[in-house]
Amino acid sequence: IILATVVFLGLTQLGNDANRRVYESRDALESDRVLVTSQDLAVSVSREINLVLIERIEDVRDWSRNQAVIDGAFDAGIFARDEGLVALSIDELETRFDSTKSTQKAIRARAYLRTELANNRAFGEILFTDANGFNAALTSETRDFVQSDEDWWQTAWTEGINVDDIEFDESAGEFSVGIAVRIDDARTGLRLGVLKTTLDARFVERIANARATSSTDYTVALPDGRLIAET
């Protein structure tokens, strides 16, 4: 009887330990599953944001490949050479083109780009230069006529593209990202200029809001910790 009691108590304790371990394992698996699911959701939203950005960059590339833009950059470069603009200093050029801010030798391209902006509200102003970095056409006012001394212009000219970090625009009260691509003539292989635009970064918040649920919130931050979206 004593032996049977000891065995029974021992088996009961083993059963309790087994049950406890089953519960602990189930809780751990559930916690891991929630963690993995949360990570998957975050990765999925991040990929969606990146895909949209890539699509918008392709839009800018398409603009740079338009024949009106290519012809406009070429004609502006010829004008700059014939007028001796390349021999002038930046200060002289800024004074000469203080009112227009462009050589105005790409009227057809400007009309095309304004139409593109009207059909795509995600972008702000667009400008493009000739091979010297002089503005050939603008869709709205800008501060400088010469762009070749800007880092974004130099990077786009040498590497073909430049995407700035997302910055907060005080005047517009929103985050935006600058995108610049080189204008290349596929027929001749010549580099003719650089086209630049700004992309409204509110698409990030729209994606996060669309993916949020009653039990899932998203926070999107820049590498330096600044929040650009929070559901």
Q: pLDDT for 45-81, tens place per residue?
A: 889 888 989 999 999 999 999 999 999 999 999 999 9
Phi then psi for residue 68, to 5 deg, are -65, -40
Rounded CA separation 72/185 (Å): 11
- Give the count of alpha carbons within 13 A of 46, CB side only: 10
Q: What is the pLDDT of residue 8?
A: 47
Question: pLDDT > 90: what percent of the chain?
Answer: 54
Write down the pTM of the prediction: 0.79
pLDDT digits (tens, 9 = 90+) for 97-113: 999 999 999 999 999 99
Q: What is the pLDDT of residue 219?
A: 87
Q: Which residues contact 23 (CB under 8 A, 6 or more apart)?
A: none
Rounded CA separation 125/144 (Å): 14
Q: Does the pLDDT at position 142 exceed 60?
A: yes
Band of pLDDT at residue 117, cut at 50, 70 and 90:
very high
Rounded CA separation 106/124 (Å): 19
Pick from 5-9, 35-39, 88-92, 178-182: least confident? 5-9
